[in-house]
Amino acid sequence: ERTLLREDDPKALEFGYVAETARVDQAKYPEHQPDQQCSKCQIYEDGPDGKGGCPLFPGKLVLAGGWCSAFS
Ligand code: SF4
């Protein structure tokens, strides 16, 4: 069973992942747009309950409303 990616996971920190796109540090990630979120990312693998897989974080689930700097 995949576990929810924690924001303090070392790799999550590396990519600036947050569970809510509204909490992205705009100063650190000026490229972030408010309407960007995991569920709109090209590599997001949609799943139930507002969570899904992301190839960047194998074995973990990310939140549909999350964001990281690898958003595409
Ligand atoms: Fe979310 Fe996309 Fe980042 Fe994966 S790569 S965590 S789906 S924004």
What number of other Cβ atoms are within 10 A of residue 62's Cβ? 27
In a domain, 72, yes or no: no
Q: Measured from the CA of 37, which atom of ligand 1 is nearest?
A: 8
pLDDT band at 17 (very low <50, low <70, confident <90, very high): very high
What is the interface pTM, i.e. ipTM, of the complex? 0.99
Q: Is 12 in the pocket of ligand 1 (CB under 6 A)?
A: no
In a domain, 43, yes or no: yes
In a domain, 47, yes or no: yes
pLDDT band at 68 (very low <50, low <70, confident <90, very high): very high
Pairing of strands 51-53, 3-4: unpaired
CA of 28 relative to ligand 1 center, distance in Å: 17
Q: Measured from the CA of 42, which atom of ligand 1 is nearest?
A: 2
pLDDT band at 28 (very low <50, low <70, confident <90, very high): very high
Its domain, for residue 23, covers 3-63
pLDDT digits over 35-66, tens only?
Answer: 999 999 999 999 999 999 999 999 999 999 99
Q: Is 19 in the pocket of ligand 1 (CB under 6 A)?
A: no
Q: Specify the pTM.
A: 0.96
Q: What total number of domains does the chain contain?
A: 1
